A and B are shown apart, each in its own frame.
Chain A
Amino acid sequence: MIYADCAATTPVSEGVLEEMLPYFREDFGNPSTIYKTGRNASRALENARERIAAVLNCHPTEIYFTSCGTESDNWALTGPVMSGKRKHIVTSMTEHHAILHTADYLEKHGCTVSRIAPQSDGIVSADALRAAVRDDTAIVSLMYVNNEVGTIQPIHEAAAAAHERGALFHTDAVQAAGHMKIDLSAGNIDLLSVSGHKLHAPKGIGLLYIRKGVYPDNFIHGGAQERGRRAGTENVAFAVGLAKAFEERAAGMEERESLLLAEREHITERILSEIPQSYLNGDRHTRTAGNMNFSFGGTDGESLVLLMDIEGVACSSGSACTSGAVNASHVLRAMGVSEELAKGSVRLSFSDPVGMDNADKVCDAVKKTVAKIRHLSGWHEER
Chain B
Amino acid sequence: MQFRYSDVFYDHFTSPRNIGRPTGADLCGEYVSGLCGDSVRVYLDIEDGVIKDIGYNVCGCSVAIAAASLTSELLRGMTVEQALALTDEEIADKLGGVPDDKIQCSFLMHSAIEDAIKNLS
Interface residues of A (CB under 8 A from B): 298-300, 302-303, 306-307, 310, 321-326, 339-340, 343, 373, 375-379, 381
Minimal beta-carbon separation of A186 from chain B (angstroms): 43
Q: Are B57 and A322 in contact (CB under 8 A)?
A: no
Minimal beta-carbon separation of A52 from chain B (angstroms): 33
Q: How many residues does chain B have at the interface if contact means C-beta atoms less than 8 Å apart?
A: 26
Query: B120 at interface (Cβ–Cβ under 8 A)?
Result: no
Could you say which of B38, B39, B57 contacts A321, with CB atoms under 8 Å apart? Answer: B38
Contacts of B37 in A (CB 8 A): 326, 339-340, 343
Query: B36 at interface (Cβ–Cβ under 8 A)?
Result: yes
Known A302-B62, A303-B62, A324-B104: A376·B36 in contact at CB below 8 Å: no
Contacts of A323 in B (CB 8 A): 101
A-B pairs with CB below 8 Å: how many? 63
Q: Are B104 and A376 in contact (CB under 8 A)?
A: no
Most A CB contacts (10 A, CB to CB) among B16, B41, B59 go to B59
Q: Are B13 and A306 in contact (CB under 8 A)?
A: yes
Q: Are B101 and A300 in contact (CB under 8 A)?
A: no
Q: How far is the CA of A302 from the CA of B57 in the complex (A)?
A: 17
Query: B87 at interface (Cβ–Cβ under 8 A)?
Result: no
Q: Are A306 and B62 in contact (CB under 8 A)?
A: yes
Q: How far is the CA of A324 from the CA of B103 in the complex (A)?
A: 8
Q: Are A377 and B57 in contact (CB under 8 A)?
A: yes
26 CB-based A-B contacts, threshold 8 Å: A300-B60, A302-B61, A303-B61, A306-B13, A307-B14, A321-B36, A321-B63, A323-B101, A324-B33, A324-B35, A324-B36, A324-B101, A325-B36, A326-B35, A326-B36, A375-B19, A376-B19, A376-B57, A376-B58, A376-B59, A377-B57, A377-B58, A378-B20, A378-B59, A379-B59, A381-B57
Extra A-B contacts (20), CB below 8 Å, given A303-B13, A303-B61, A310-B14: A300-B38, A300-B59, A300-B64, A303-B65, A306-B13, A321-B36, A321-B60, A321-B63, A321-B102, A323-B101, A324-B33, A324-B36, A324-B105, A325-B35, A325-B36, A326-B36, A343-B37, A378-B20, A378-B41, A378-B57
Q: How far is the CA of A381 from the CA of B20 in the complex (A)?
A: 10
Contacts of A379 in B (CB 8 A): 59
Q: Are B101 and A322 in contact (CB under 8 A)?
A: yes
Q: How far is the CA of A93 from the CA of B101 in the complex (A)?
A: 27
Q: Are A373 and B33 in contact (CB under 8 A)?
A: no
